[in-house]
Amino acid sequence: MPKVSFTVNGVRRELNLDSRTTLLDALREHLHLTGTKKGCDHGQCGACTVMVGGRRINSCLTLALMNEGNTITTIEGLGAPESPHPMQAAFVKHDGYQCGYCTPGQICSSVAVLDEIKRGVPSHVTADLTARPEITEAELRERMSGNICRCGAYSNIIEAVTEVAGRQS
């Protein structure tokens, strides 16, 4: 079995994995980081969103071996109950979750979305591609559209992300 090494939530990890193992399965089954959820297992729901090198990805669509040497952040790496990440605290404050299944992916994605906007990465609704994108409801909804919430907590999620974005400005 091939060996893969990467840094997960600040800790260097080495695993011997079948070459077909997805990053999602490596995180959940081999590293026991079960905060990242397996929803559709086809890249359609976003429940498995993690950050690799600061950019959000669907961990069900990438093989663990493809992440050799990368830095991976999961929901467990953002914060803990005693010291939550500002986005985690905002999701709680604004009731940005209901059943909670999609919440880890939603939070990881929203943290990365704010970084995308800060870096000036345009989206499909960015009006002026030469200007820095603004944090608007339309911009956030477009960027978060890959994260599905079956409970329909979208307006609360947007409120949480908007609050954190206001604090970062």
Condensed to tens digits (0 to 9), the pLDDT of residues 28-55 reads 999 999 999 999 999 999 999 999 999 9
**H or E stretch at 116:** helix 103-119
Residue 44 and residue 148 in contact, taking contact as beta carbons nearer than 8 Å: yes
Q: What is the three-class DSSP state of 154?
A: helix
Q: Which residues contact 153 (CB under 8 A, 6 or more apart)?
A: 95, 96, 97, 98
pLDDT digit string, tens, across residues 107-150: 999 999 999 999 999 999 998 999 999 999 999 999 999 999 99
pTM: 0.95
> For residue 25, is pLDDT > 70?
yes
CA–CA dist 150, 54 (Å, integer): 26
Number of Cβ atoms within 10 Å of the Cβ of 168: 12
pLDDT digits (tens, 9 = 90+) for 62-84: 999 999 999 999 999 999 989 99
Query: Could you give the CA distance from residue 31 to residue 86 in angstroms, rounded to a whole number?
Result: 25
Check pLDDT > 60 for residue 169: no
Question: Which domains are seen in the chain, by residue range?
Answer: 3-78 (3.10.20.30), 86-168 (1.10.150.120)
